[in-house]
Amino acid sequence: MNTQPITSAAPLPILDIIKEALAKQHYQMVYQPQFGFADGRLKGFEALVRCQSPRFGMISPADFIPFAEESGDIIELGHWITRQSLLDLKNLRELSGLPLYMSINISPCQFQAGDVYEHVMKTLMDMNLPASAVKLELTETALIQNPSMIGRTFKAFQRDGVQVWLDDFGTGFASLNLLREFKIDGLKIDKSFVDGLHTSDDDFTICSAIIAMAQRLGLNIVAEGVETEPQMHILSQLGCNSVQGYLTGRPTPLDECSHFWLENRFIN
């Protein structure tokens, strides 16, 4: 995997790679499971995109998404991600017999392009999936870029039963104000706070405060980046709703996802 910044001395021709990947279907989706603390059962997945370039190997989304946003290619890529991950969700629900959801990352540009609502709702309809089968993940940065337009789209999604979640909570700006202005369904506690949960008093205090606040506001909480049993244990004690991280399951291609409901992977 390329771990070098794209802007380093020998940059990858990233825009060519993005366009080639779109044209030649070098993108693929992987799915990371989320388990509920209350019963230890699989609840759903987060959809994460990968780019496997034949010339440059695996490129991380953290590297190519910002360039796809800048060039506008994120719109076409976002459409593909929504369609592919909901098609795969349909398979996962049929195979498992569970009412699983798919949590999809939406870039601010997709909101600004104006068709994200129509596209998601049409794809749900094409796949014959209920609105409750999809959750959208947005970052704080996305919300503050165009609050009035995003607010309208938000309302439309929620009126139709699609949940909207705040990703990387606590790492952006204006978090508390956003909670007041938008009717958010849930928060994802960022990995950077979870990392030090069992070793740093400050991180413990921040996580407990986020969870207590979310509970009082009636919001659900997923902790992400959970890698160790002590982190898992503390999150469970604090009343966190769901867990996502390498401890309970790494991002996995569709054909390997059945492990997540066939084996009990939940450690508590």
* Residues in contact with ligand C2E by the rule CB under 6 A: 32, 47-49, 60-62, 65, 81, 105, 107, 167-168, 224-227, 245-246, 251
For Ca ion (CB under 5 A), the number of binding residues is 4
Residue with tokens 């089968």: 133
DSSP string of 204-255, one letter each residue: HHHHHHHHHHHHHHT-EEEEE---SHHHHHHHHHHT--EEESTTT---B-GG
Compare residues 9 and 22 and give the one whose CB is closer to ligand C2E: 22
- Of 22-30, 52-60, 101-109, 253-261: span binding Ca ion (CB under 5 A): 101-109
CB of 97 to ligand C2E, least distance (A): 26
The reply to whether 203 sits near Ca ion by the rule CB under 5 A is no
In the numeric block, which tokens belong to residue 26? 């070098």
Find the binding residues for Ca ion in span 29-88 (CB under 5 A).
Answer: none
CB of 201 to ligand C2E, least distance (A): 22
What element of type H or E holds 168?
strand 163-169
Compare residues 23 and 62 and give the one whose CB is closer to ligand C2E: 62
Binding mask of the shown chain, residues 121 to 140, with x at each position contacting Ca ion by CB under 5 A: ----------------x---
Which of Ca ion, ligand C2E, none does residue 88 bind to, with CB < 5 to 8 Å depending on kind? Answer: none
CB of 50 to ligand C2E, least distance (A): 7
Which of ligand C2E, Ca ion, none does residue 225 bind to, with CB < 5 to 8 Å depending on kind? Answer: ligand C2E
Find the binding residues for Ca ion in span 140-199 (CB under 5 A).
Answer: 167-168
CB of 109 to ligand C2E, least distance (A): 9
Tally of residues, the chain: 268
Classify 171 as helix, strand or coil. coil
Provide, for the chain, the percentages of residues in helix, strand and coil under a 3-state DSSP scheme, each rounded to the nearest 5.
Answer: 50, 20, 30
Q: Which residues contact 65 (CB under 8 A, 6 or more apart)?
A: 49, 74, 107
**CA atoms 166, 169, 173, 175: torsion sign:** positive
The one-letter amino acid code at 179 reads: L
Compare residues 140 and 167 and give the one whose CB is closer to ligand C2E: 167
CB of 104 to Ca ion, least distance (A): 9
User: Are the C-beta atoms of 208 and 225 separated by less than 8 Å?
Assistant: no
Question: Hey, which residues does 256 pair with through a beta bridge?
Answer: none
- Site residues (CB under 5 A) for Ca ion? 105, 137, 167-168
